[in-house]
Structures are given as structure tokens and as C-alpha cells.
A and B are shown apart, each in its own frame.
Chain A
Amino acid sequence: MADRSTRRLMLVILSAVFAFLYIPISVLVALSFNEGGLPTAWTGFSTKWYGELIANKDIMGAALNTLIVALASTLIATVLGSLLAVGVEIRRRKGRFLETVIFAPMIIPDIVLAIALLSFFSMLDVTLGLNTIIVSHVVFNLAFVCAVVRARLKTFDWTIVEASTDLGASTITTLRRVVLPVLMPAVIAGALLAFTLSVDEFIIAFFTAGAGRDSITLPMQIFAMIRFGVTPEINALATIVMTVSVVALALSQRLNSGKLAGQ
């Protein structure tokens, strides 16, 4: 009897928490399809707000910038981060300092890294723009790629590397033909994670973008729009951005855990 009432309480708690988590974003998604665009009345299903997005040059420009930044920073971070992961895992001696440096980008508050990079670039007289955003995004992206690849390397069988070396393969050949094929799912998972992080990242981009309109990314555009209030267009844009990140991350998780489970 007591057990049944506990069970009911647990179900009530779960429903309440899931309602709290999902109602705000569901309202947002629903409103993006509301013809009138207002929360006060449902005037019919429509995709016209999505059409307006495509017609908006500012938003399309920002989306293009975001794509450039995310692709470039993901590419660099994936190469550097994967090599770093392999290097760290090959080493038998684990240095505490090294671990801290690799882990730091994941825990340093965004705002601190943002002002640090802004000060650094300004002192070197580097012109701020998409290039500086890319360089900055690589910093945290490579840490995340490295973490994902290292997790995969924990179950890696290093004897196949020895076998490859014994058979006369060079280090490059061993990396390319032996290590990489085994690591590929983790590398792709890491790249997808990096891509999503970069697409969503706002604060560091905001500080390292400079003043011009040419280097505005999508989150910066969204931030600017939100400050002027709620519009049906932002609802539509928010829905798209949310869908992209959730799909990319779900894919990344699947790739990663699927391979580990199959191991």
C-alpha cells in the first residue's frame, strides 16, 4: 500500500519535471507555426514565418557566417584534437599539468576566455572578424574532440599498433591505416559535437567578432533580435536552431555509444 502511494508520488514528480522542461520549448515551437504569430490566439497552421526568415538578408548572412565558422573550427579542432588524444593516450606517464591544460577549455567560464582572447587579439593588433572567431572556437572545440576520442581509446587494443610497426609500417601509415579506421566513429562523433558547440556558441563569438556587421553569427543575431522583443520570426529561427543542435548531438551520441556497445 505504501509502495503504491510512493510510486504515484514518483510519477507525479516525473510529470511535473518533464512539464517544466518541455512546456517552454513546446510553446515556442507551436507559436512558430501560428499564422497570427501571437500567443493570445491560434489563427491557424502556417509556415509563413519560416518563409520570412529566408527572405531576411541579415539572418541569412548570419547563418552563412555561422556555417563558415563552425565548419572551419570543426575541421581544425578535429585534426588537432584527435592527434592530441592519440598522443596523450600513447604516453604511459600522465602529467597533471598536461591534463589541466587539456581540460581547462571545458571549464573556464566563457566570459573569461572571451575577454582574454579579446585583450590578446587587440594587443597584437589583429583585425577582429570571422578569422578570430574561428581561432577562438578551436580552443574549446579541440578539448571536446580530444575528450570524445580519448574515451574511445580507453578500449583500444595497442598491440595492433605494435604489430603494424613490427611489420615495418611507418608511424604515418600506422596512424592512417590502423589507428584511424578504428577511431573513425569517435572522430566523427567528436566533430559533430564540435560543430554543434560552435553553431550554438554566443559569448566568445560576441567578444571576438569585432564591431562590423559582416562578422555577425547566428547566435549574435538571435541575441540582438531577442533584446527588441518577441517576434514570430525569432520563434521560427529558434525552432530551426534547436532542431539542428538536437539532431546533430543525438547523431553524435549514437555514433559514439553504438560503436562502444558493439565492441
Chain B
Amino acid sequence: MADRKPLYLMSPALAWLTAFMVVPCLLVLALAFFRRGIYGGIEYTFTFETIALVFDPLYASIFLKSAVIAGLAGLIASVIGYAAAYAIASMPARHQPMLLFFAVLPFWSNYLVRTYAWIVLLNREGLITAIARGLGYDGELPRLLYTESAVVVGLVYNYLPFVILACYAPLSRLNPEIAEASRDLGGSAWTTFRRITLPMTAPGIATGFVFVFVLSIGNFVTPALLGGGQFQMIGNLVYAQFLTANDWPFGAALSMVLIAIMMGLLTLQTFVTERASGARARET
């Protein structure tokens, strides 16, 4: 086909994306450089004040707390996900696709439903309390729901299948002869794993970790449902600026900083992955 044709096939979709994604995102970027008017609304004078406010200790601490929770969720999910992927990859080849399918299946169900499932387990009259009572424990049980731990568990639960997928890809491509060679040369199983398998499959872990971190740090649903009202992460702060506090410029500034953090991490992850594959290309 001629070179001009692709354009009119693409233009309806590109027009849609321009109008309803590019322009709105640029608008938010612009909003971040204005400030809230005295009576709400937006005061259209150019200022860095709003962005500077994001780095105010009060809000910076919320960023930090979100980063800690997202980091914790990413770390735990990476460890469990890598172990699971390693276990799947060690099973007979004919069982692997099915195991992988069932590891990812929960990921396909509704996010709210998966989060809600943990409320059912953790709430005061929930299953865990019921089991403790059934075992004859009568004392006061620690609060399970509406805690930071509950938020971390919820995030790990929701994103674990992706980490398993990300880690399984390099593990399944691993050449078993390399590990064999290491053992023949006298390397113990642990040394082989630490010096050969782990470095060669590290990009999978990096991908999994960054994915969980990026989705967690801006998360709004999980902190709202499992963290309860008193507990705030950046996502909830952004939500509040737009739907309750009515300070759109500040909400815009918060989300721009959020985007900057994410883009930084994604670039770093691409860099790590490319370096790792470059190193492998040189070896062969």
C-alpha cells in the first residue's frame, strides 16, 4: 500500500488520544504552575509555589511513607514471586504452562473484588478472628484491618501474579547446561544459584519490583479500603485535592511529581535490563 494510507487509518485513533489523553495531561501539567484562588477555583498566575508546596515536610512525609509502603510491597512481592517462578520453572516442562496459567488467573479478576477479599479475611468479625475464637482464644486480638500491614498485604496480593510472570520469563530461558557446568566445576547448589542463576535472571526481578512499586505508590483504592480513612498515601491525597479540598493546582502538582518518580524508575529499569542483556550478548 502507498505510504499515505496508514495516516488515515491511524488518524481517528490518534485524534482520540490527542484530544482525550495528550491535551488533558498537558492541561494538568499547566495547572501545576498555577495556584488555588482564595475562594477556591484556580488563580491563573504563573508560579512555582504550588510545586514547591509538594516538598513541604508535611507532604514530603506522605510521599516518603508511600514510597516505603510501595517499596516494602515490591520487595515482598519480588521475593515470593521469584520463589514461585523458580519453583514453577523447576517442575516438569509439560506442567509449567498450566501452573503459570493458574498463578496468573487471579490477576484477571476485578481489583476491587480481590481487595475486598482481604476485608472479608481481616475484619473484626472476619475469618481469621473466627478461626482464633474456634481454637479457643478469648483474649483481645490485634487489629488486622485498617493497618499499614494490611495495605502492604493487599498490594502484594494484587500484583504478585505479574511478578511471577516477569521472573518466570528469564528463568525459563535459562540454559540448564550453564548450571550443570558450574556444578561440574565444584560449585555447590547455593553458589551456582547465587553466582549464575540469580544474576542472569535479575532483570526479571527488576521488572517485577518496578511494576509493583510504580502501581503501589500511586495507588488509591487499596489504602482507602484496607488502610481505612485515617491513613493517607499520595493517591488519596491527589483524590482529596480534586474531589473534596478543591485545590486542583496542588492535586496537579502532586500527580506531576508522582509521574516524574515513575518515569525515573521505568528509565532506570530499562537501563538495568539493557545492560544485563548487553552483558549476556558479550559473553556469548
Contacts and interface: CB of A to CB of B under 8 A. Distances in A.
Interface of A: 2, 6-7, 10-11, 13-14, 17-18, 20-25, 27-28, 31, 38-40, 79-81, 83-84, 86-88, 90-91, 101-102, 104-105, 107-113, 115-120, 123, 135-136, 138-139, 142-143, 146, 161, 165, 171, 196, 200, 202-203, 207, 219, 222-223, 226-227, 229-230, 234-235, 238, 241-242, 245-246, 249-250
Nearest to B18: A101
Contacts of A21: 103, 106, 157, 160-161
7 contacts: A2-B189, A21-B106, A102-B17, A110-B220, A115-B28, A207-B242, A227-B224
Closest 8 A/B residue pairs (Cβ): A87-B9, A87-B10, A116-B24, A84-B13, A24-B117, A120-B24, A80-B13, A87-B6
Given A27-B120, A116-B27, A235-B120, A39 B127 contact: yes
B108 interface: yes
Main secondary structure of the interface of A (DSSP, over half): helix
A101 B22 contact: yes
B10 A24 contact: no
Contacts of B113: 25, 28, 222, 238, 241-242
Interface in B262-277: 262, 266
Interface string B75-93: 0000010011011101100
Given A21-B160, A230-B123, A222 B112 contact: yes
B16 A139 contact: yes
A88 B160 CA distance: 33
Contacts of A115: 28, 238, 242, 251-252, 255
Nearest to A104: B21
Given A111-B239, A116-B25, A242-B109, A27 B84 contact: no
Contacts of B224: 227
A17 B168 CA distance: 14
Nearest to A249: B108
Nearest to B8: A87
A10 B9 contact: no
Given A116-B25, A117-B24, A27 B117 contact: yes
Residue with the greatest number of chain A CB neighbours at <10 A, chosen from B125, B127, B258: B127
Interface in B1-44: 1, 3, 5-10, 12-14, 16-18, 20-25, 27-28, 31
Nearest to A2: B189
B189 A6 contact: yes
A51 B119 CA distance: 23
A18 B102 contact: yes
B189 A24 contact: no
B87 A202 contact: no
B74 to A, nearest CB: 15
Given A13-B87, A25-B117, A203 B220 contact: yes
